[in-house]
Structure 1
Amino acid sequence: MEPLRKPLQGVWNIIRFNRHFYILAAVLVTGLLLASPYLKSPFSVLIVIFSCLVTLSTLVSLAISLYIYDLSGLYKLNWINVTVLPATTHPILVNINAGFDETSALLQLKYPGALLTVYDFYDPQRHTEVSIKRARRAYPAFNGTVRISTAAIPLPDNYADVVFLIFAAHEIRDKAGRDQFFGELNRVLKPGCKIVLLEHLRDVPNFMAYNLGFFHFMSRQSWLSTFANAGLNIARETKFTPFTTNFVLSKNGNTN
């Protein structure tokens, strides 16, 4: 059977889906370096230093992305602690993505007896990044994926054993909308069951990795506020890598 992920697929996807940024950086650095010999000092020196910093920042970002998405074992899903799954033969799993789904097939393979429902809250009116559009063209949706609004999850109360949100929830940029969405997650989650959230945070390690790109992520305090407003507790918080945080959430009153 062909492997679900190819070597270096993670960092290659970042390059090809965001190629406009890398092309712009290459053109900028090349143009500045070509112009620097014709400028007087100290401008020529400053241009060389600036060009080196842009190049270094780009290479560091790609190296860290390579580590996270290709070398850390992220997509082996071994970081998902077995204790989040109930002791049932056919657990009910819900996996929710923001338009680019790299995990549903892996979850189905990891938990073959589970009943897996997949939702996609991508909204072309709100999620206008060209990178997501390229990713959606490159990778078809998981079979049976249902498009939803973050305002309403089409599931009954107390339905799911585990809800997975892997690098998706930060795409809900509006805090009120994010709070409402997590309130919906609380509603559909069975008492005593779990939400598994994996995210980058707007923190020092991610600033060092992605420079100003870390503003695309939410701060830990912002997530804590959302969890509290939605009536959710943190049952466990761990670092999968220095750049990614795994929150395991439960309904208020359930911390196991």
Structure 2
Amino acid sequence: MEIKRRKFQGVLNILSFNRHFYVIGLLVLVVLIAALNFYKIPLVITGIILGVFLYGFLMPLLVSAYVYDFSGYYNFNWLDKLGLKEEQPKHLVNINAGFDETSFILKNNFPEADIKVFDFYDPKQHTEPAIVRARKVSLVYPNTQQIKTNRIPVSSNSVDVVFLLSAVHEIRSYKEKVLFLKECKRICKPNGTVITVEHLRDFSNFLAFSIGFTHFFSRKTWKKAFTEAGFSIFKETKFTPFMSIFRCSS
């Protein structure tokens, strides 16, 4: 199935799924402007306050448009830098957190490979409105299976590559994250690899998302989690200043 993304689909998804935040933000902006005017705050201070507010309001959208709509993320050109296509893996696993934009694209990039898709979304734990809305419009890859994070229904030592694309940060518990990564290691062949793509809790993402960068985890946390899960090789490649690709293997 050929997947053609619309222009600005990434940022439009973010606006749609998180519209409650932006509606609240616009209301706060109206109240803020009224208060500044009512109290006759000096023009310079007013400009600074509004500038800071608009920066925090608009910068996440600008960065998201850059990362998801203009950087080539969904063209999967970054796979070439990893050399995966040359390795011609035959057995792939792609695991998402309730919103799948990548499985069909992976199949297009690896047409000869067998791809199994799993979704660890738990409606009892993942109640955020953004995830609920995203699931309503998400394409579902054929035979996608719902799983628990502590069990992936795949035989041990049978998978060439496990893809975790902007998904595992939704596992908020560190202990649960390690258990999940241990499962990923279990299903990998001795020479198999796990490809993880994530925003990090770093300075670049702080500039992009301000306090929202706390939704992500630091490189140190990721490395520690993969190491505790049994991976001995942990390599990072930057994909834009705002996203990292981790390639981990035994």
**TM tier, shorter chain?**
over 0.9
Which one-letter code corresponds to 2:10 in the other structure? G
Q: CA deviation at 1:110?
A: 1.1
Residue 124 of structure 2 aligns to a residue whose secondary structure is coil
User: CA shift at 1:58, angstroms?
Assistant: 1.7
Stretch moving more, 132-141 or 173-182:
132-141
The equivalent residue for 1:254 is none
CA contact (8 A) 1:196 1:246 kept: yes
Structure-1 residue corresponding to 2:174: 175
The aligned runs of 1:1-256 (5 Å cut-off) are 3-41=3-41, 46=45, 49-81=48-80, 83-84=83-84, 87=87, 91-251=90-250
- State how far apart, in whole Å, the 2-side matches of 1:236 and 1:164 are: 15
* Matched position secondary structure for 2:197: strand
Matches of 1:235 and 1:224, distance apart in 2: 7
Query: Which is further off, 231-240 or 60-69?
Result: 231-240
- Amino acid in the other structure paired with 1:5: R
Contact 2:85 2:110 in 1 (8 A): no
Does the aligned pair in 2 maintain the 1:161–1:189 contact within 8 Å? yes
Residues 95, 118 of structure 1: 8 Å contact kept: yes
Q: Percent identity?
A: 43
How far the C-alpha of 1:214 sits from its partner, in A, is 0.4
Q: 1:94 touches 1:116 (CA, 8 Å); kept in 2?
A: yes
In structure 2, relative to structure 1, the CA distance for the partners of 1:93 and 1:195 (3 Å cut) is same
1:217 Cα offset (Å): 0.2
Does structure 1 conserve the Cα–Cα contact (< 8 Å) formed by 2:79 and 2:85? no
On the 8 A contact 1:234/1:247 being kept in 2, the answer is no
Equivalent residues of 1:235, 1:248 under 8 A apart: yes
TM-score normalised by the chain length of structure 2: 0.94
Misfit runs of 4+, over 6 Å: none
Aligned-partner Cα distance in 2 for 1:84–1:145: 23
Q: 1:34 to 1:218 in 2, by over 3 A?
A: same
Please report the RMSD computed on the Cα atoms of aligned residues, expressed in angstroms. 1.8
Amino acid at match of 1:14: I
